[in-house]
Amino acid sequence: MPKVGMEPVRRKALVDAALRVIGDQGTLTVTMSEIARHAGVSPALAHHYFGSKEQLLIETIRSLLRQLRDDTVTALRTVAGPRERLSALIRVSFQASQFAPDTIAAWLAFYSEAQRSEEVRRLLVVYARRLRSNLMASLKALCADDDAERIAEGAAAMIDGLYIRQSLRSAPISIEASIALTEDYVSSHIDRLK
């Protein structure tokens, strides 16, 4: 079995397993054993590669963020024009993979962890800033700077809020309805300024 070059394979397997287990249980208080089991390795190996549970969690968030960024880049590549780009950004935020119950549960757990871990907090701030600046870039072409700022803030809040509400799974809103609600907000505020 022991073959050279396993490290990247195992790292990825562990990170993926961590995300699955965290999403499934909706908490970061999952054991290294459980994560390792899902990755098909021993708990000791997880420690061998990541040093600590905290570090594995950090890498897991990084992976989630990377995924989201890649999806965003891909989505933006195919569209031109500020208004279309805005729509693409909204669509990416609610795309199925991100809006799945497990993923939402994981995000929530990470937000909670950010209260304690400075590094986790920093990573989530990166996400918040990125969303904001992406929205701003398009909005600035459509309205005055300070209006753009307010609309970006509002749209970002609405997106995050729709996520949270989704996590309760009571009267769940569909992906399409979530997109429509956010689109509606953006549209009507841009129009009003015309």
Partner DNA sequence: TTTTATTGATTGATGAGTCAATCAAAAATA
Partner DNA sequence: TATTTTTGATTGACTCATCAATCAATAAAA
Query: Given the rule CB under 7 A, which residues bind DNA?
Result: 1-7, 10, 29-33, 41-45, 47-48, 51-54
Look-up: residue for tokens 């022991």? Answer: 2
Which pairs with CB-CB distance under 8 Å and at least 24 residues apart come from 153-157? 154/185, 154/189, 155/90, 155/182, 155/185, 155/186, 156/128, 156/131, 156/132
User: Rounded to whole angstroms, how far apart are CA atoms 169 and 105?
Assistant: 11
State in angstroms the smallest separation of the CB of 7 from DNA: 4
Segment contacting a copy of itself (CB under 8 A): 4-12, 42-50, 52-60, 154-162?
Answer: 154-162
Residue 116 has what DSSP assignment?
T
- Decide: helix, strand or coil at residue 28: coil
Query: Pick from 2, 3, 4, 29: which binds a copy of itself (CB under 8 A)?
Result: 29
Tokens of 95: 């795309």
Q: Which residue has the tokens 């309805």?
A: 177
Cα 53 → chain centroid = 21
Does position 192 interact with a copy of itself (CB under 8 A)? The reply is yes
Site string for a copy of itself, 110-149 (x = CB under 8 A): -xxxxxx----x--xx--xx--------------------
Please tell me whether residue 168 binds a copy of itself under the rule CB under 8 A: yes
Burial 116-134 (b: 16+ CB within 10 A, else e): ebeebeebbeebeeebeeb
For a copy of itself, what does the binding mask look like between residues 31 and 70, x meaning CB under 8 A? Answer: ----------------------------------------
Stretch that binds a copy of itself, among 32-40, 44-52, 66-74, 108-116 (CB under 8 A): 108-116
41 binds, among DNA, a copy of itself, none (CB under 5 to 8 A by kind): DNA
Alpha carbons 121 and 113: distance in angstroms, whole number: 8
> Binds 62, which of a copy of itself, DNA, none (CB < 5 to 8 A, cut-off by type)?
none
Residue ranges that bind a copy of itself, judged by CB under 8 A: 25-27, 29, 105, 108-109, 111-116, 121, 124-125, 128-129, 150, 153-154, 156-165, 167-171, 173, 177, 181, 184-185, 188-189, 192
